[in-house]
Structures are given as C-alpha cells and as structure tokens.
Structure 1
Amino acid sequence: MTEALPGFTHRWADAEGIRLHVVEGGQADGPAVVLLAGFPQTWRAWRKAMPGLAERFRVLAIDLPGQGDSDRPHDSYDTHTVASRVQAAVNAFNVQKYWLVAHDIGAWVAFSLALKHEERLHGVALLDAGIPGITLPDSIPTDPDRAWKTWHFAFHLVPDLPETLLAGRERAYVDWFLKAKALSPTTFDSDDIDHYAAALAAEGGLRASLAYYRDAAESARKNHEALERQHLTVPILGISSSHGSIPDMAASLSPWADNATGVVIPQAGHFIPDEQPDAVVAAVTAFIEGAAKPV
C-alpha cells in the first residue's frame, strides 16, 4: 500500500507500542499540518491535496490504527485512546505544535485529540463528520432519501454479522461506499477501489475498521466527560460540502468550541479531499494564514 507520491516519503513511528504509518513531505521548516482520513480510506484520501499543501507546509498524513499500513491492535479503538497514539506518532517526528486536518473517522479522533492535547495544536479543521456525542445524530433517519448516508453506523455496530457478510466481498462494499457517497460516481477509479479494498481485506482490517463504530459510545462518553471540564478554545474550522452528510459543520461544533468558523465546498459529496482537493487546500491555507495572524 506504500505507493509513491512525488515529494513524499513513507515512514513509520512508534506510537505507544504500536507502529503507525506516516507519509511525510513538504517544507521541512514550514508549519506542520497533520492529516487524518476516515472510513474506508487510508492516508491516500489526501494524495490529491498533499502536493498543494506541501507548497507552504510540512505535511504528515498518518494512517490511524487499523488503517492502511499501520498496525491493527486488538485493544480499544475509542477516539481518546487512538488520539493518544496519534499524538505519540507526531511526537516521534519532533513536531512541537501543528495544525490538524481530519475527515470522517479521522475527525472523530481529531476532536478527541483537541480535548486531550489542545496545547499542542494551532488549530483544527474537521471535514464532514458525525462525531460521536458531538455532531453524530442520536437516531438514524428512516427516510430513504437520507438513510443511505448514515445506515452503516448501525450495521457496523452489530457483532460478527458485518464480518460474515463482508469477508471476501470487501471490494464490492468499498465500491458502493465510495461511489454512493461521492457526488460524482467517477471520482474514484479502479485503482482507488483496489487500494481501499485491500486495506479492509488485510488481516484484521475489517475488525479494526468496525471497532471505531463499536467503540463510538465510549468515545462519546469520554468526549462529554472532557467537555465538562473545558470547551475547546483552539480555532476550529468546520468544512462542509454541498452534498455531504453534515450540512453545517461549524454550527454543529459551535456549542463545544469558543472559536468555530465554517466553509461549504461546492460540487462535492462526503469525500471532499478526493472530490475538490484544490478547494480543500485553499480553505485550509486560508484558515491557517488567517488564524496565524496576530490579533
């Protein structure tokens, strides 16, 4: 899965006893930007945006535990546990403070990381994510026009059945998932489908990917426990899309964050970095440059 991306190097970091895969490139002395992807993707979700970000920033795209070429541990996948491991990986690259940009399940982890390690962050951009206990709806809609966007949350929670139904059929599942949730069904080609399907089909891949959903209640509990002590004060950018899952990320995050702003990317479904990478680069760059200006 370690495909070449010009200007970037595949590396690994020890993160509290497990190995996380990191793709690094860009400006060695520039501000650090850490990228996290969601289900059913890997670091490759950012490959179209990474060269643009690398023009100004030091870029580290990290495979979460269970993703891509990272280890697939058998313990908890609640987002606070995973956030500690992501922070440990960032520490291994001698990054003292950074900007965190995350999509889908990556945004689940990013929100919890901000609660645990806010002092290490300049700011956080969260893309189209139903974060457990925060922006994730309490119930799944039954209206067919909306249910297809969130039905998998319940399916992935069921013990054993998803593995039984999906084992050996990972490519068909990934193909439906990516093409249904992107605005254009041509966003992802066969190489994309093959890459993500191989990650799911790898030993422990399904188990680890589903574990994020199965531990979501614990993630929500820990998020609210942390929010009883403090709200987020670090700048937050909510990135929504015209045809995504969460219409207004900024509004859904604002009850928990003192400084939340938002942007909507047009002509995109759920997989915004794949569908509109230049717009994502522009939004993230504007956020970093605006938040970094002295008040």
Structure 2
Amino acid sequence: MTDAATDANRSRDQNSISGLPLHDLAGFTHRWVDADGVRLHAVEGGQPTGPTVVLLAGFPQTWWAWRKAMPRLAERFHVIAMDLPGQGHSDRPHDSYDTHTVASRVQAAVTALNVPKYWLVAHDIGAWVAFSLALEHEERLHGVALLDAGIPGISLPDAIPTDPDRAWKTWHFTFHLVPDLPEALLAGRERDYVDWFLRVKALSPNAFGSAEIDHYAAAIAAEGGLRASLAYYRDAADSARKNHDALGRGHLSVPVLGISSSHGSIPDMAASISPWADNVTGVVIPCSGHFIPDEQPDAVAEALTAFIDREG
C-alpha cells in the first residue's frame, strides 16, 4: 500500500459522523483537524506550494458543493474545501453558531493545516462566516470572495418581503427562526426540503441529480445536522450585532470580490458590501441561479483566478 493510500485510509478512520458516506474527489485527501475543541473536516489538494484558496459552502450543502470547481482551481492553487461546524463530516457542537464563533473555529482549522495566509472564498452561509472571519482575522487573508449571500447585519434585510415573486427566495429565514416547529415538520422529511431548495433556487431544475440531493439530505439528517443548520439562522441576530461591533473598529481593507449571478438572490453583491469595505469589485456570472459553484463552476474558477492574479 502506498503512503498516500495509507494516509487516505487513516483519514477515513477519523470520520466521526456515523453512517454518512465519504465522497472522494480525485487528487484530494480527506483531513480532520481540531479547531478549538471541535473537529472540522477538510478536503485538500492541488499545488502544495501555490497560493492557498479556502472554500466554504452554505445551506443546505457541504464541501461537495465545490467539487466541480476544485479540479480547475487545483491546477494553480493549493485548495482546501472545508465543512463548517454542523456541515457534512464536521462535528455538530451544541454551543453558539454565531458567525464570529464559527469563524474562529475555521481560522483555527486553517492554522492547524499549517496555512499562514490564504484567499477565502465562500457561498451563502459560508459567506456569512467569511465576512466575520475577515473582520476578526484580516491579517491572515490575502482577499475574500463572497458569493450570493445576504449577510446578517450587512446586506440581509430586516424584513422578509411578502410579494410572492420575491418571498420565495428568503421565506426560510423566518421559518428557521421559529423554535421547535421546523424540527417537527422536517425530521424524516429532510430530502423533500433539500430537494425544494436545490431545484427551485437553481436556474435549471435539472442542475442537481438525485444522488446529489440524497447526499446533502443525508448530511442534514445525520447526527444533529438539522439542529446545527437551523442554529446558523437562530444565531443570526448575534452574528449581526458582532459584525457591527467589529465594524465600529474599522472597515475591511482586504480586497473583496462580490460574485453575483444572473438569477440569484442578491443582484449586486459588490454594491451590498461596498459600504463596509474599502476595496470591493464585483462580477455577475451569467446563466446561473443561487448555487453558482454547482451551476457555473468554470466561470467561478475563472473569476477567482482573475481576482487572485489582480490582487495578489
């Protein structure tokens, strides 16, 4: 058995989420690292001496959301896709899921992976965490790219629209905040719920196959995944307060790329972030809904590469 195969088998033995299959991606290795007492799962590959790009996914996904873009990015970069606390094969802690607490754990995991400085790229709830991480650990970042996300206290609206033509994009924020009811309605029906999100919020209803829906639903159904997924929303007010507290000390100076899509949730990510950051540029990915890394992975990889080349 080769050293690489031995390392891969050792990593598999560390999987702490019982019954949840691991998905392999050619050229990448599963890793588990301690992050302030919480074990986080990361998938690492690409160029060991290249610039490091750390990828974070959002609801209702896992690191697997980046699987199509990762091989393209790996041609030039050292790539780490990470499951946030509560996602995929990471632990599901019972304490706070405010984005500053989560960001400190992500930074601890990146440090444990021996990465001193990196480019941070994040979608949806991952972008919530990335914005907070940039506020608290800006010195560790070369730059940050945020994809189609309303960020608590920054660009997430205080009121959910009631117009049906817009409400379908954001109704779940309020639903997830209700105590107990989402768990009662969703337990055992996780696949139906995930299926709705992936099919309705993508531009094409065929963007996700049954196997992908099964994968994400299983991750939410496994060992506290539903509780953890809802906790990000239930702690959003705390995330917003801590974001504003941090912004009181100064705006972001690290380069920020806002990535929107032609049919996403936030029409202009750059404009929504620019009041809070000094160096913001934007790009709109055509022919995509909310799940941009899945729907247009090559365009995302090209936009990220151009951003890194320009700001690096």
Distance 2:28 2:22 in 1: 11
1:170 to 190, 194, 215: 190
Residue 88 of structure 1: aligned partner: 108
Residue 106 of structure 1: aligned partner: 126
Distance 1:266 1:137 in 2: 24
Q: Could you tell me how far 1:76 is from its partner in structure 2?
A: 0.1
CA displacement, residues 15-47 of structure 1 (integer Å, 9 cap, x when unaligned) = 000100000000000000000000000000000
Residue 246 of structure 1: aligned partner: 266
1:147 to 156, 167, 174: 167
1:210-229 counterparts in 2 under 5 A? 210-229=230-249
SS at match of 1:90: helix
User: Unaligned regions of 5+ residues in structure 1, if any?
Assistant: none
1:77 to 87, 93, 97: 97
Aligned residue pairs total 292
2:43 to 5, 11, 23: 23
SS at match of 1:73: coil
SS at match of 1:264: strand
1:54-73 counterparts in 2 under 5 A? 54-73=74-93
SS at match of 1:174: helix
Distance 1:20 1:246 in 2: 29
Residue 259 of structure 1: aligned partner: 279
SS at match of 1:179: helix
Residue 143 of structure 2: aligned partner: 123
CA displacement, residues 91-150 of structure 1 (integer Å, 9 cap, x when unaligned) = 011100000000000000000000000000000000000100001011111110110000
SS at match of 2:137: helix
Residue 201 of structure 1: aligned partner: 221
Residue 291 of structure 1: aligned partner: 311
Residue 133 of structure 1: aligned partner: 153
Distance 1:255 1:4 in 2: 40
Aligned identity (percent) is 82
Residue 97 of structure 1: aligned partner: 117
1:275 to 277, 290, 295: 295
SS at match of 1:9: strand
Q: Could you tell me how far 1:2 is from its partner in structure 2?
A: 1.6
2:55 to 22, 28, 35: 35
AA of the residue aligned to 1:239: I
Distance 1:86 1:195 in 2: 23
Distance 1:224 1:2 in 2: 38
Distance 1:162 1:222 in 2: 26
Distance 1:114 1:233 in 2: 9
Distance 1:45 1:74 in 2: 25
Distance 1:3 1:208 in 2: 21
Residue 44 of structure 1: aligned partner: 64
Q: Could you tell me how far 1:156 is from its partner in structure 2?
A: 0.3
AA of the residue aligned to 1:215: D
CA displacement, residues 255-280 of structure 1 (integer Å, 9 cap, x when unaligned) = 00000000000000000000000000
User: Unaligned regions of 5+ residues in structure 2, if any?
Assistant: 1-20
Distance 1:173 1:23 in 2: 26
TM-score (norm 2): 0.93
AA of the residue aligned to 1:98: Y
Residue 4 of structure 1: aligned partner: 24
Q: Could you tell me how far 1:151 is from its partner in structure 2?
A: 0.2
Q: Could you tell me how far 1:81 is from its partner in structure 2?
A: 0.1
